[in-house]
Amino acid sequence: MASIEMKNIVKQYGDGFPAVNDVSLDIADGEFMILVGPSGCGKSTLLRMIVGLEDNTSGDMVIGGKRVNDLAPRDRNLSMVFQNYALYPHMTVFENIAFPLRLSKTPDDEVRRRVTEASDVLELKEHLDRKPANLSGGQRQRVAMGRAIVRQAEAFLFDEPLSNLDAKLRGQMRTEISRLQRRLGITTVYVTHDQTEAMTLGDRVCVLRKGKIQQVASPRELYEQPVNLFVAGFIGSPPMNFLPATPKGTGLETPFGMVELDERRAAKVKGHDLVLVGIRPEYFEDASLVDEARRPLGSTFKARVDVTEWLGDSQFAYIPYEAPEAVTAQLRELSRELDSEELRTQAIVSIDSTSRIREGREAEFWLDTRKVHVFDPQSGENLTRDAEAGAELTRLATQDRVEQVEESKARQGGATSVGAA
Amino acid sequence: MSRREKAWWIVGGILIVLYALSPIAWIISLSLKGSSDIANQSFLPTKAVWDNYTQIFTGTASDLFLPALRNSFGICLIATGISCLLSMFAAYAIARLDFRGKRLILSAALGVAIFPVISIVTPLFNLWRQIGLYDTWPGLIIPYLSLTLPISIWTMSAFFREIPWEMEQAAQVDGATTWQAFRRVIVPLAAPGVFTTAIIAFFIAWNDFAYGISLTSTSASRPVPAALGLFSGASQFQDPTGATAAAAVIVTIPVVLLVLLFQRRIVAGLTNGAVKG
Ligand SMILES: Nc1ncnc2c1ncn2[C@@H]1O[C@H](COP(=O)(O)OP(=O)(O)OP(=O)(O)O)[C@@H](O)[C@H]1O
Ligand SMILES: [Mg+2]
């Protein structure tokens, strides 16, 4: 088990394209780090540089305190689960899992013991004599994991391991991976573009855009204190609404009326003439359902609802609004980059599922203004980010992780577990 | 496809198969005819006899045929083996590595493959006599390699390209050296390709006539196709047709056997399940 440090890592492919551009990232021992970002942002490239399948053009890769730039993959002692599993089709499940041990010339009975242990953990026992071709997707995925955990690797690397599974299995395997990681307490780097995986699995999440790190933080910090438009728009589903606004007095004038800001935020916004307010769908509510005590914490406005979607446990309403040309172009560009569908100038708001608001009618909404963020439309920077509050969130998450790892170590008496025997 | 259309396809298929098989049937029938029966003007022998076969195995033609059979087997197997081994490495490099002159190698290989054999035979004949390779096994194995290598490299690199890169990368991450990854993962996966290549190479070498007749002079290295041409009848006035036909049948048998034996392996999609299916 080891920490992974990346210092100013750059990767230029043969054609000069900088797939990874000056990335510096420290991953602590035992930490679960997620790499997310839209397609083509360099996640896989970065992962493959950690494992040594790709050389870095410049910068240093340090694993467990040792500079590994010039080490071949086999000398780095990391294990990796590939997106399409890359199982060896000519070997049985047993031999697939045993392969790393066979390469290191482990004695036969030791191999048998370790493979049995790994297959117990992954519930593969009755499939050990079968060939990968005859297994289901989930089983193949587990064989790939078995091959990863069977030896004492310094870290696990996953490249979108669940993207080939159907939704239900994905959920199952997600909890499985999380449990396994906590239990083994092993450093893990996990590439995904699935929101849920990023938010639920990661101790910290690293958001990449065009080969550059945007923000590295706990899921909560990313959600509540994003550094810029890109992160704010990328994290959260349905995505954050960005409304054009102009500062006026201590508040902002938006298509949905005035939004009052507290002193700290008002001071930061001062001096800008056009800004974007970022409001998460759940900051809205059907005004008639908000109790009197909460009402003064936000503002109310009337708007015509275009479409409503009732999902049983929740309900979404779409409210169109007018926006100046300069902002719409900017928003369209952003949504294209985030791979989201063409963002029309409409707000998605989440309302209580019992709400009687109907399509095509005018309705009154309440907007919780306490947590809205204000962005500079040109640079995309979050003007109202509270760095301290964010850091506190991440500190809490780190503390949780350390406690969990300690607990799991104590439970196992610090002794035998798969891969740590 | 409608029933009618299907029926036509079947009829057409049968016709083609008959057309393709008729020479073989003819050869078999010939090989079973007695010497006086050869010109009986009918397809089937009046009476099937094994005379021709006894003649080539134990009779007058056996001194010619049996050593030739041994030579053919030996030379072709060795040439196939060497060519498979060499082309495996060459094809792996071509499929996996980026190096200058890759295209040159491929097109040169193609060039060699289409180069007319007959134009090299005479210079080779002279050269071989100078350096003592004339009428020896290596004297035939080397030109056979020039026939089989290009096509082997081409087929084999097509197979290697099919094997997902990630297989090998996974092996490397698991702790394999490049050589271990090649031997324990790539070669087993490429096995169907190796079999196909081996069979093609073997056929090419087995069928050669030009080199066989020109670069040999005795039964020390003369292969079967060349020996067939030298068969003579029992007397000056008798055609060796029956014996030749019998020998031709015998020579065809390994080819047919090879295909029947390995067609499973050739077709087997071993890579199934390697990646998500
Ligand atoms: N072998 C290569 N040669 C040149 N460019 C490459 C190569 N591999 C990847 N790239 C480029 O590098 C960039 C990053 O690729 P990468 O595979 O890391 O993306 P990714 O973030 O994993 O995307 P996805 O989510 O689609 O898997 C892409 O723009 C891609 O075009
Ligand atoms: Mg990728």
The residue nearest atom 31 of ligand 1, judged by CA position, is A40
In a domain, B37, yes or no: no
Question: Strand A284-286 vs strand A275-279: parallel, antiparallel, or unpaired?
Answer: unpaired
In a domain, B207, yes or no: yes
> Domain ranges in chain A?
4-223+393-411, 239-379
Q: What is the pLDDT of residues B215-227, one digit of tens each?
A: 998 888 899 988 8
Ligand 1 probe mutation, A10, A36, A43, A337, most atoms within 8 A of CB: A43
Residue A106 has pLDDT above 60, yes or no: yes
Residue A421 neighbours by CB under 8 Å, 6+ apart: A114, A117, A152
Q: What is the mean pLDDT of chain A?
A: 89
DSSP state of A239: P
| Per-residue model confidence (pLDDT) at position A344 | 66
> Which residues of chain A have a Cβ shorter than 8 Å from any chain B Cβ?
51-53, 72-74, 77-80, 82, 84-90, 99-100, 103-104, 131-135, 137, 140, 147, 151, 164
A&B contacts, CB < 8 Å: 80
Separation in Å, CA of A421 to nearest CA in chain B: 18
Confidence (pTM): 0.80
Q: What is the pLDDT of residues B91-123, one digit of tens each?
A: 999 988 888 888 898 898 888 888 888 888 999
In a domain, B124, yes or no: yes
Ligand nearest to the CA of A15: 1
Sheet holding A298-304, edge to edge: A284-286, A362-368, A298-304
Q: Which residue of B has its CA nearest to A134?
A: B273
Q: Which of A45, A74, A136 to probe by mutation at the B interface, max B CB count within 10 Å?
A: A74
Question: Strand A362-368 vs strand A257-260: parallel, antiparallel, or unpaired?
Answer: unpaired
Number of domains in chain B: 1
Q: What is the pLDDT of residues B120-176, one digit of tens each?
A: 899 999 999 999 999 999 999 999 999 999 989 988 888 888 888 888 999 999 999
In a domain, B189, yes or no: yes
Q: Is A227 within 8 Å of A215 (Cβ atoms)?
A: yes
Task: Look at chain A and count its residues.
Answer: 421
Closest by alpha carbon to B78, among B123, B133, B125, B139? B139
Longest dimension (CA), chain A: 77
| Per-residue model confidence (pLDDT) at position B57 | 86
Cα of A260 from ligand 1 centre, angstroms: 44
Asked whether the beta carbons of residue B275 and residue A78 sit closer than 8 angstroms, the reply is no
Q: Is A408 within 8 Å of A183 (Cβ atoms)?
A: yes
The token pair that represents A319 in the structure block:
């409210």
The token pair that represents A356 in the structure block:
């009687």
Separation in Å, CA of A90 to nearest CA in chain B: 7
In a domain, B200, yes or no: yes
Cα B202 to the chain's mean position, in Å? Answer: 3
d(C-alpha A4, C-alpha A113), whole Å? 30
Mean pLDDT of the A259-272 span = 88
Q: Which CATH number fits domain A4-223+393-411: 2.40.50.100, 1.10.760.10, 3.40.50.300, 3.40.50.80?
A: 3.40.50.300
- End-to-end CA, chain A: 12
Q: What is the pLDDT of residues A138-160, one digit of tens each?
A: 899 999 999 999 988 999 999 99
Question: Strand A187-191 vs strand A155-159: parallel, antiparallel, or unpaired?
Answer: parallel
**Which ranges of chain B would DSSP assign to H, the alpha helix?**
3-31, 51-57, 62-96, 102-114, 118-131, 137-162, 165-173, 178-181, 187-207, 210-214, 224-230, 241-267
Q: Which of A311-325, A386-400, A402-416 has the lowest mean pLDDT?
A: A402-416
Tokens 């790393």: give the residue. Answer: A100
% pLDDT > 90, chain B: 36
> At B75, which CATH number?
1.10.3720.10
> Is residue A219 reached through a cis peptide bond, with omega within 30 degrees of 0 on the bond before it?
no
Residue range of the domain that includes B206: 62-230
In a domain, B79, yes or no: yes
What is the value of ipTM here, to two decimals? 0.81
A238 exposure class (CB count in 10 Å sphere: 0-12, 13-18, 19+): middle
In a domain, B252, yes or no: no
Residue B266 has pLDDT above 70, yes or no: no
Residue-wise over A106-127: b if at least 16 C-beta within 10 A, else e? beeeebeebbbbbbebbebeeb
